[in-house]
Structure 1
Amino acid sequence: MTNTMTYKGYAARIEYDDEDGIFTGRIAGIRDGVGFHADTVEGLREAFHEAVEDYIETCAKIGKEPQKTYSGQVMFRVSPDVHRKAALAAELSGKSLNQWAEEVLDRAAG
């Protein structure tokens, strides 16, 4: 079972709060904190859709572009040994390090 929902290109991570007996969610991948909750799965789905619609509408009202897409540029640091191993694996597979890393990350992210 995955603990995520998607709607209009947005995704949310879902958790269950046993103390309060509710499902809670938060839109992922945006800087603004947009959360929602409900006590049923169907109610949570509706609350998520409303949260996305409200986010898009609020952004339009204040003249802000809603955050949604990623640039496709990822920068991160790894140890020199991991860098060497990855570069070698890419070369042996006949791919650039970028092509190889994209395939590996895509598989890992599902």
Structure 2
Amino acid sequence: MENHKIFKMAFASVYPHYVAKAERKGRTKDEVDEIICWLTGYDLTGLRNQIDLKKDFESFFAESPSYHPNASQITGVICGYRVEEIADPLMQKIRQLDKLIDELAKGKKMEKILRT
């Protein structure tokens, strides 16, 4: 596994950007939280705990209670890379989350975002 700089970046430092991106497009912080909890298996208390403890992305995903089995259905391009073709498992998880937040900001319905 490559050691990308983002792996050691605090999830708490990026989380406000996810919320801001969604809110700029008329979506809510609650929707961002719902997406993150759906993907990672955290409940809201667990998510807040990870943010409060300033866990890095590596720990945030390693400690996630249950990564969603439908995450493999997250496809498309984010940051110039096809999500489904990213070889590094941690980078793929980070980009899957980025893709879901991007879909939220683009106005997709929550049912589609959550692959239900």
TM over 0.5: no
Q: Give me the TM-score of the superposition, normalised by structure 2.
A: 0.29
Using CA pairs under 8 Å that are at least 6 residues apart, name the structure with larger relative contact order, 1 or 2: 2
Going by fraction, where is helix more abundant, 1 or 2? Answer: 2
Larger radius of gyration: 1
Going by fraction, where is strand more abundant, 1 or 2? Answer: 1
